């Protein structure tokens, strides 16, 4: 998994191994999960994301292989393998088509009759494949009753294909095309107990249509579907050296951790966008801990949805990196789970209201959850509010009023009601989240900064939603008053932002653990800095003292090799440093991701083991380096590092419904282009220079480096 090339259409994905005598395609279907609603909350019983199986194409032992190359083209989402053997040139192309709903693999050669061998399947749950003419067929059922099916069709040119003992035998084919379809009877619907009709008819119809279209048409439609999404954003950070360009990616990335490699930095940025498009498309499930790709039925952390930062980080780039439709699966999953989450919350004695009464309104979320209402491990009480931030941000970037009114607002209001019922009032009248947690660190107690900041964010976004929709004025005012009464983070004895309401002064909660609230605490999480990023409660302009304290805390957490920092930690810290305008530290976080301990040879994030939140998070962090909009203005190049003296970015999105292009030279802005989606007024900031502008829907304004308007 750390070396394979990933392809996906949002629902169906594959890891391409690229062997010469045998090609292995490790297949995933995003709804193939064990587990159920798991009322016990036992993490070990929650279930896990599963592998579908492998398609194996056995081609025999080649003679004298030369010129081998394996590549993934991010621009057209096609993986390729090329090599020479026995005087012939061989090429494979593999992609997952979103329009067709199937995986497509083409095997060609520049001489006829080169393909003899077998095609067989390895089902990850032991189901037996049936071979019939040119088709392999598997049906199975998991322990939770989930039914699944997958089929492989082989289309030859020249030669023959025949079925024999559960495999397909290739005889002197000039070329072959493999079509793979798969599905389960999962439905994202609690009322239907997360089930629908068996997938057989849908899979068969998809494969029949794909076979009739032929390879050339499938490829053309795939590229036409993928490229309009991927090409929305372009980043140019300058040219890498010839020596850097000549290296393979696995070697090159290790060197890039030491010497700046601008084109590889661009690649890592775009890789996050590629992966999000490939594993999160409307109608499917959202990206899990490993996106879509998984090679184990016992994957790390169940390959689940971790709600204390990981799934949120997966979606940080969705809006700013101009992939808003890729955000939709997250909203679909959350809303589908809420009915079961309400039941579990109401039954949890540890979630009783401060009065001792059981929960009657709203829902809470444990740290982990699956796709069928089940949750596991510790309650992360404010994860409900953190999910709400994503609902709000989708509106803030797109200005989709219908989404705000019909999808986001009901979830925001229900979550506000939950916290209205659960906040605890101190003797001085201020409000705290009772018995909270700063993941995955320190004691459980009242007024933890992480919890306070997230609920503040929820209340603030709810107030703004009410104002926009002109609704619920009385309740809006009540929530606004509670927001203003929340305890806010304090500043500690060495200038740090306090992680807990009271300073711990070196307390060890667990023997051998970091000393809390000291510069020696190098924990991987920076949960108390939520208000800096992805929140906006702490900013350099509006709360400079708290921003300075956040910087002290961030610096102290450290990045030493013996620290507890992980790949996703570097991605989060890149965004945090960018928000705090520390350009060089932000860039250093990017470079750290190229090290062997933080990314795999195929650039997958390496926790270790593989997690994909770092891939998504660094894309979002680099967006913050060149464009920010959380403070009510479009701030241009707020954290531009000296390592990027000249460059450009095109197609980033900003809150307020804007799309932005930027060019810079000699570390100075040379031009900016702002396009309007919703026709709002806006404000540009570059350094100390600020200008206001008005744009009608669909219109564009151009600005010079001094922010004067140009034509």
The number of beta carbons lying within 10 Å of the beta carbon of residue 298 is: 9
On whether both 442 and 366 belong to a single domain, the answer is: yes
On whether both 685 and 555 belong to a single domain, the answer is: no
Structure tokens at 219: 């490829």
- Look at residues 457, 332, 476 and name the one whose alpha carbon lies nearest to residue 407: 332
pLDDT computed for residue 471 by the predictor: 98
Task: Give the domain extent around 188.
Answer: 5-231
Q: Where a domain ends, among 631, 658, 681?
A: 631
On whether both 433 and 355 belong to a single domain, the answer is: yes
Q: Where are the alpha helices (DSSP H) in 348-448?
A: 383-398, 401-403, 409-422
- Look at residues 177, 176, 193 and name the one whose alpha carbon lies nearest to residue 185: 193
**Within a domain: 639:** no
> Which are the contacts of 704, defined by CB distance < 8 A and separation ≥ 6?
670, 671, 710
Q: Where a domain ends, among 583, 599, 631?
A: 631
On whether both 257 and 335 belong to a single domain, the answer is: yes
pLDDT computed for residue 562 by the predictor: 66
**Within a domain: 274:** yes
Which backbone phi and psi does 653 adopt, to 5 degrees?
Answer: -110, 155
Q: Please report, for the domain that includes residue 32, its CATH number.
A: 2.70.98.50
Residues in the chain with pLDDT < 70? 512, 561-562
Separation between Cα atoms, residue 534 and residue 363, nearest integer Å: 22
**Within a domain: 642:** no
On whether both 475 and 394 belong to a single domain, the answer is: yes
User: How many folded domains does the chain comprise?
Assistant: 3
Q: Which whole-number Å values give the CA distances from 438 to 433, 513, 527, 536, in the listed order?
A: 12, 15, 6, 18
For helices 215-230 and 262-279, angle between their N-to-C axes, nearest 10 degrees: 110
User: Could you please report the per-residue DSSP string of 311-354?
Assistant: HHHHTHHHHHTT-GGGGHHHHHHHHHHHHHHHHHHHH-GGG--T
SS3 408: helix
Q: Which whole-number Å values give the CA distances from 371 to 35, 222, 305, 705, in the listed order?
A: 9, 28, 9, 48
On whether both 593 and 667 belong to a single domain, the answer is: no
Is the distance from CB of 62 to CB of 84 less than 8 angstroms? no
Q: Which whole-number Å values give the CA distances from 117 to 18, 69, 127, 549, in the listed order?
A: 16, 22, 23, 65
**Within a domain: 183:** yes
pLDDT computed for residue 511 by the predictor: 72
pLDDT computed for residue 68 by the predictor: 96
**Within a domain: 121:** yes
Q: Where a domain ends, among 196, 231, 266?
A: 231
Residue that has been written with the tokens 């829907």 in this structure? 697
pLDDT computed for residue 228 by the predictor: 97
Structure tokens at 340: 């079961």
On whether both 374 and 289 belong to a single domain, the answer is: yes
On whether both 395 and 524 belong to a single domain, the answer is: yes
Separation between Cα atoms, residue 476 and residue 465, nearest integer Å: 9
**Within a domain: 239:** no
pLDDT computed for residue 567 by the predictor: 93
Q: Which runs of E-coded beta strand occur in 420-477?
A: 424-425, 431-432, 436-438, 441-445
Is the distance from CB of 264 to CB of 594 less than 8 angstroms? yes
On whether both 342 and 318 belong to a single domain, the answer is: yes
Q: Which whole-number Å values give the CA distances from 522 to 201, 497, 561, in the listed order?
A: 54, 14, 11
**Within a domain: 638:** no
What are 212-255's pLDDT values in tens digits? 999 999 999 999 999 999 999 999 999 999 999 999 999 999 99
> Which are the contacts of 123, defined by CB distance < 8 A and separation ≥ 6?
52, 53, 129, 138, 140, 150
Task: Please state whether 35 falls in left (phi above 0), alpha (psi between -120 and 50) or beta.
Answer: left
On whether both 594 and 458 belong to a single domain, the answer is: yes
The count of residues in the chain is 711
On whether both 286 and 160 belong to a single domain, the answer is: no
On whether both 226 and 256 belong to a single domain, the answer is: no
> Which are the contacts of 364, defined by CB distance < 8 A and separation ≥ 6?
341, 345, 348, 351, 379, 381, 383, 384, 418
Is the distance from CB of 171 to CB of 116 less than 8 angstroms? yes
Q: Please report, for the domain that includes residue 499, its CATH number.
A: 1.50.10.10
**Within a domain: 409:** yes
């Amino acid at each position: 998994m750390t070396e394979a090339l990933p392809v996906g259409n949002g629902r169906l994905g594959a890891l391409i191994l690229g062997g010469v005598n045998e090609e292995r395609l490790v297949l995933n279907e995003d709804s193939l999960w064990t587990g159920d609603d798991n009322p016990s909350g036992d993490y070990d019983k929650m279930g896990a994301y599963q592998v579908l199986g492998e398609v194996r194409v056995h081609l025999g032992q080649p003679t004298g292989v030369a010129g081998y190359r394996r590549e993934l083209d991010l621009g057209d989402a096609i993986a390729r393998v090329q090599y020479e053997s026995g005087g012939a040139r061989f090429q494979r192309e593999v992609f997952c088509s979103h329009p067709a709903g199937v995986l497509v693999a083409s095997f060609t050669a520049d001489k006829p009759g080169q393909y003899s061998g077998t095609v067989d399947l390895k089902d990850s749950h032991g189901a037996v494949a049936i071979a019939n003419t040119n088709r392999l067929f598997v049906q199975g059922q998991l322990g939770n009753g989930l039914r699944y099916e997958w089929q492989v069709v082989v289309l030859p040119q020249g030669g023959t294909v025949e079925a024999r003992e559960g495999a397909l035998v290739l005889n002197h084919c000039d070329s072959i095309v493999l079509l793979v379809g798969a599905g389960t009877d999962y439905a994202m619907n609690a009322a239907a107990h997360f089930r629908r009709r068996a997938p057989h008819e849908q899979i068969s119809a998809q494969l029949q249509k794909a076979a009739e279209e032929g390879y050339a048409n499938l490829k053309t439609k795939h590229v036409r579907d993928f490229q309009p999404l991927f090409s929305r954003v372009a980043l140019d950070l300058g040219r890498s050296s010839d020596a850097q360009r000549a290296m393979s990616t696995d070697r090159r990335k290790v060197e890039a951790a030491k010497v700046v490699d601008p084109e590889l930095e661009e690649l890592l940025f775009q890789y996050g966008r590629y992966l999000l498009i490939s594993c999160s498309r409307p109608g499917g499930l959202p990206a899990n801990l490993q996106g879509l790709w998984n090679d184990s039925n016992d994957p790390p952390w169940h390959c689940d949805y971790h709600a204390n930062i990981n799934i949120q980080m997966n979606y940080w780039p969705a809006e700013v990196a101009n992939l808003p439709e890729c955000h939709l699966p997250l909203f679909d999953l959350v809303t589908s789970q809420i009915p079961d989450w309400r039941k579990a919350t109401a039954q949890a004695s540890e979630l009783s209201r401060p009065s001792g009464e059981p929960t009657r309104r709203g829902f809470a979320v444990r740290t982990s959850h699956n796709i069928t209402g089940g949750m596991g491990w510790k309650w992360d009480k404010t994860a409900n509010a953190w999910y709400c931030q994503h609902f709000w941000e989708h509106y803030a970037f797109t200005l989709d009023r219908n989404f705000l009114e019909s999808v986001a607002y009901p979830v925001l209001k229900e979550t506000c009601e939950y916290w209205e019922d659960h906040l605890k009032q101190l003797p001085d009248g201020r409000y705290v989240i009772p018995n909270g947690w700063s993941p995955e660190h320190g004691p459980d107690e009242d007024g933890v900064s992480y919890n306070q900041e997230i609920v503040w964010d929820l209340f603030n976004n709810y107030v703004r939603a009410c104002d926009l929709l002109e609704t619920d004025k009385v309740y809006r005012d009540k929530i606004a008053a509670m927001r203003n009464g929340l305890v806010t983070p304090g500043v500690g004895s060495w200038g740090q932002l306090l992680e807990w309401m009271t300073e711990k002064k070196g307390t060890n909660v667990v023997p051998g653990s970091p000393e809390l609230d000291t510069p020696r605490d190098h924990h991987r999480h920076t949960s108390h800095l939520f208000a800096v990023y992805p929140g906006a409660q702490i900013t350099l302009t509006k709360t400079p003292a708290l921003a300075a304290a956040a910087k002290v805390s961030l610096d102290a957490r450290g990045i030493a090799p013996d620290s507890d920092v992980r790949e996703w930690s570097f991605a989060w810290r890149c965004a945090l440093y960018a928000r705090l305008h520390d350009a060089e530290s932000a860039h250093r976080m990017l470079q750290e991701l190229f090290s062997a301990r933080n990314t795999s040879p195929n650039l997958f994030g390496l926790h270790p083991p593989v997690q994909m939140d770092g891939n998504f998070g660094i894309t979002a962090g680099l967006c913050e380096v060149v464009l920010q909009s959380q403070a009510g203005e479009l701030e241009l190049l707020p954290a531009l590092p000296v390592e990027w003296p000249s460059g450009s970015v095109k197609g980033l999105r900003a809150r307020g419904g804007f799309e932005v292009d930027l060019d810079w030279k000699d570390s100075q802005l040379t031009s900016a282009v702002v396009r309007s989606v919703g026709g709002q007024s806006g404000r540009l900031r570059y350094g100390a220079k600020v200008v206001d502008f008005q744009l009608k829907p669909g219109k564009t304004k151009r600005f010079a480096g001094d922010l004067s308007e140009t034509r």
